Structure 1
Amino acid sequence: MRFALTSLVLALSISSGAMAQESNAGPAVLNTALVPSVMTRAVDDFIRPGYHRFHETAGSLRASMEAVCATPSAATVDAAHVAFNDTIDAWSRIEIVRVGPVIEDNRFERVLFFPDRKSTGQKQVHAALAKPDDSVTQMATLKDKSVAMQGIGALEFVLFGTGHEVLSGDQGGDHGGYRCRYGAAIAANLERLGGELSAAWDAPDGVQAAWEKPGPANPLFRDEKEAANALLGILVHAAETIRDQRLESFYKGDAKKALPRQAIYWRSGNTFRSVAGNLEGLRDLMKMSGMVDLLDENSRSTVSSIDFVARSLLRVVNDIQPNVEGAIADPAETAKLDFLLLNSRDLILRLNNDLGGGIGLAAGFSFSDGD
C-alpha cells in the first residue's frame, strides 16, 4: 500500500505542476538552430560511448567463456556470470537506441531476441544442446543461424538453464565442454556485433553525419524537426518498452495472473537489472544530449520532473528482489511492481506530451511510431 499511495501522490503532484506550467505558456516553437548541437551530443556523448562499452564488455565475456572452456571450475563459471551481468548492464543502457545500424541486418534481434512468446529461442537452444553440432561452437557459422540462438538470451540459457551445472566440470565427460564452446561462440558473436555497431557510428561520413547535420540532402532527416522527432522518439519508445515488454510481459497488476517466466532474463535474476539499465540509459540520453536547451527558460522544469519520475522508478527497481517468482509471491514486492506500472505510464506521458510539446513538437504526437 505504501508504494501504491506514494505512486499516486507522485503522479498527481507532477501532473498538477505540469498543467500549471502549460496554462501559463503559449505553444512552443522548436529552436531549430540548437537541434544540430543536441543531436551531435546525443551521438558523441551517449550513442557512440554506449556501443563502445557494449563491445568491450562482450569482449570480456568472450574471454571469460573461453576461460571456462579451458579450465572448468566454479571460479571460472562465477567469473563468466559477472561478465554476463556486465554485458547486460552495457546492452540495457544502449538498447534504447532502436534506430540506425542496430536495426539493419537484424542486429538487434541477433543481440537480444525478446519477447519470445513462442519460446522459439529456448526450443532451438535446447535442440542445439541435446544433439551436439560443431557449427554452433564457431562464431563464423553460428552467426548465420537463427537469430534466436546466437544472442544474450541463448547465452543465458547456456549459463543458467537446465543442465548448466556441467560447465563447472564436476560431472565429467565432454558435454560441459561442448556447452561451453557454444556459449563462447555466442559471446564472440556479441563482440562481433558490438564491433560492427561501434564502427558504423564511428564512421564520420555515415550515420553519425546524418544525425549531426539535418538538411534537405540528408538521407535520414530533411530538417531539424525530423531530427528532434527521432531523438525524442528514442526516449518515448524506451519508456513504452519498459512498461509493455519489461513489466507487462509478466505482470499486469494481478499477481494471480502473473507469468514470471515470461520476464526477460528471469533465469539469471537479471530482470530488474535490465529495467534499471533502460532507465539509466533514458536519463543519460536526455541529460547528455542537452535536450533541456531546446526548452525556453519557463519550461525547463519539465526535464527535472521527468528525471524525478525516472529516478523514482529506478529507486524502486533497484529495491525489488531479483527473483521474479519470489517477487510475485510477496505482496510487499508486488506493491513495488504496481508502483512501476503506474509511474512508467506517467513517464511515457511526460516525455510524449510535456517534453514534446515543450520543445515545439505537437503534444500527443506518437514519436515512437513516427505518425
Structure 2
Amino acid sequence: MRTPFTRIAFATLLALPLGFGPALAQESPIPPGVLDTAKVPGVMAKAVDGFIRPGYHRFHDSATAMASAMGALCAAPSQLSLDGARTAFGSVVDAWSRIEIVRVGPVLEGNRFERILFFPDRKGTGLKQVQAALAKSDESATSMETLKDKSVAMQGIGALEFVLYGTGAEALTAEKEGYRCRYGAAIAANLQRLGGELATEWDKPDGIQAAWKTPGPNNPIYRDEAEAAKELLGVLVHAAETVRDQRIESFYKGDAAKALPHQAIYWRSGNTFRSITANIEGIRDLMDQSGMADLLAEDNRSVVSSTDFVAHSLARVSGDIEPDVAKALETPEQVAKLDFLLLNSRDLILRLNNDLGGGIGLAAGFSFSDGD
C-alpha cells in the first residue's frame, strides 16, 4: 500500500500541466511545435560553455584532489588520511554523476566512459578482476601507465570504491605504501588522466565544441539545427531513462522484499543516492544553463518550468534517503521515498520526451532510444 508521503507527493506532481500552457494574448512569431532554428546555435553554445566544459573541468579537479588524497594515504596511513581519501572519493562521485549524463562525443571514444565507470556490472566481472588483482598483488596495476591498458573494469570509480570500502580495506591504515593503496592511487591517477583528456577535448575551439555550436551543411556531425537540437534533447531524455532504468530499477522495482541492495551503484560507500541526486541535478543544470526554454514558443515555456519542478522534487527526495541502501529498504518511510523516485522518474522521462520534445518541434513520442 502506498504511504501518505507517496500519495501526497505524487498527487502534487500529477497536478502539474502535462500539456502546453494557455496561449498569450500576443501571438508568438514561432508557433508551438515549430523549431526556432535561429536560436539553436546559441542554445548549443550555452550548453557547451555553461554546463559541459565546466562539468568536465570539475570532474578533472575532483580526480586531481583524489589522486593527492591517495598519495597522502599511502605515504602516511591512518584513519584520518583514510577518511580524507573517502571524502575525496565522494566528491569524485558527485562531480562525475553530474557530467556523466553527457554520453556523447569524446567520452565515448576509446571507451573512456567505461574506463571511468563500469556499471552496471551484472555478472560481477569488475569485482572479480579487482579482487584478483588485490589477491595476487599484481604490480602492473599499481602504475597508471600500465593500469590504463588493462580491463576497463579495473581502472575506474567502481574499482576505487572497492579499494576504499570493500573487504580488506582496513589494510589501508596499517601499511605504508602498501599494495592496495598503491593500486588505488593508480586508479585515481587514471581518473585524473581521463578527466584531463575530456576537458582538453571540449576546450579545443575547433573540436567537438565547434560541432555543437555551428550546426549546418558543412558540419560533419550536425547537418542542420534540428539534428543539433535532437542531440541536446536526447542527452536529457537518455539521462532521465538511465536514472530510472540503471540507477533505481537496478536494485528496486517496487517490491522491497525482492530488492537487491548490492546491485545499487556505490552501495559500499553509501553514495547511491548522492549519485542519483547529482544525476538529476545535472539534468536540471543542463536545461537551465543551455536556455532550452528559448527554443519554445513564448506561450509554451511553462513546459520547462513544470519539468524542472518534477526534477527538483526527485532530487529533493533522493537527497533525503538513508544512504545505506539495505537499511533504506527496511523502513516503510524510506521505501515510500523509493516509490516516489520510481513513479516520478517515469513522469520526468515523459515530460522531456513528449512535452519538451514536442514543444521544440519534434513529434510527441519521439523515441531517442531507437535513435530516430
Instruction: State whether TM-score is above 0.5.
Output: yes
State the match for 1:240 in structure 2: 241
| 1:22-61 equivalent positions in 2, closer than 5 A | 27-61=32-66
AA matched with 1:326: K
Distance 1:19 1:355 in 2: 10
Does 1:277 find its partner at 2:278? yes
Distance 2:302 2:166 in 1: 46
Structure 2 partner of 1:96: 101
Q: How much does 1:307 deviate?
A: 0.7
Superposition deviation, residue 168 in structure 1: 0.8
Deviation (angstroms), 1:225: 0.2
**Alignment deviations for residues 301-329 of structure 1 (CA, whole Å, 9 cap, x no partner):** 11110110011111111110000000011
CA separation in 2, counterparts of 1:50 and 1:20? Answer: 31
Paired position in structure 2 for 1:336: 337
Which residue number in structure 1 is paired with residue 165 of structure 2? 160
Find 1:64's aligned residue among 38, 49, 69: 69
CA contact (8 A) 1:230 1:367 kept: no
- In the other structure, the counterpart of 1:12 is 14
Q: CA deviation at 1:7?
A: 3.6
Instruction: Tell me if structure 2 keeps the 8 A contact 1:135–1:141.
Output: yes
Q: After the TM superposition, which residues 130-209 of structure 1 pair with which residues of structure 2 at under 5 Å, given as runs?
A: 130-169=135-174, 177-209=178-210
Q: Which residue of 1 aligns with 2:265?
A: 264
Aligned length: 365
Per the alignment, residue 117 of structure 2 pairs with 112
The 1:20–1:199 alpha-carbon spacing in structure 2 relative to 1, beyond 3 Å, is: closer
Whole-Å separation in 2 of the counterparts to 1:99 and 1:341 = 26
Task: Rate the CA distance shift 1:28–1:22 in 2: closer, same or farther, 3 A.
Answer: farther
Q: Is the 2:70–2:185 contact (alpha carbons within 8 Å) kept by the matching residues of 1?
A: yes
1:304 aligns with 2:305: yes
1:173-212 Cα shifts (integer Å, max 9, x gaps): x7x7100000000000000000000011001111010010
CA contact (8 A) 1:7 1:343 kept: no
Equivalent residue number for residue 21 of structure 1: 21
Matched, 1:3 2:5: yes
SS of 1:329's equivalent?
coil
Contact 1:34 1:294 in 2 (8 A): yes
**Percent of pairs identical after alignment?**
68
State how far apart, in whole Å, the 2-side matches of 1:18 and 1:132 are: 56
2:32–2:297 Cα contact (<8 Å) kept: no
Task: Write the deviation string for residues 34-75 of structure 1: whole angstroms up to 9, x where unpaired.
Answer: 000000000011000000000010000000001010000011
Q: Hey, what does 1:290 align to over in structure 2?
A: 291
SS of alignment partner, residue 18 of structure 1: coil
Whether the 8 Å contact between 2:20 and 2:302 is mirrored in structure 1 is no
Residues 217-236 of structure 1 mapped to structure 2, 5 A cutoff: 217-236=218-237
Distance 1:297 1:23 in 2: 9
What stretches of structure 1 of length at least 5 have no aligned partner? none
Alpha-carbon distance, 1:296 to partner: 1.1
Provide the rounded CA distance (Å) in 1 between the counterparts of 2:22 and 2:338.
Answer: 30
Pairwise CA distance, 1:297? 1.2
CA RMSD of aligned residues (A): 1.5
Deviation at 1:362, TM superposition (A): 1.1
State the alpha-carbon separation in 2 of the partners of residues 310 and 257 from structure 1. 27
**Aligned equivalents of 2:351, 2:87: Cα separation in 1:** 35
Please give the alpha-carbon distance, in whole angstroms, between the structure 1 residues aligned to 2:273 and 2:236: 19
- Are 2:78 and 1:77 aligned? no
Q: Cα deviations across residues 106-151 of structure 1 (Å, max 9, x unaligned)?
A: 0000000000000001000000000111100000000000000000
Q: Does structure 1 retain, via aligned residues, the 8 Å contact 2:20–2:355?
A: no
Gap change, CA 1:251 and 1:99, over 3 Å in 2: same
**TM-fit CA distance, 1:23:** 9.8
Structure 2 counterpart SS, 1:231: helix
Matched to 2:254, the amino acid is: G
Q: Hey, what's the Cα distance between the residues in 2 that align with 1:348 and 1:188?
A: 36
**Following TM superposition, by how much is the alpha carbon of 1:262 offset from its aligned partner in structure 2, in angstroms?**
0.1
Letter in 1 for 2:50: D
Taking structure 1 as the reference length, the TM-score comes to 0.96
- Structure 2: which 5+ residue stretches go unaligned? none
Tell me the distance in 2 between the aligned counterparts of 1:124 and 1:7.
43
CA contact (8 A) 2:41 2:225 kept: yes
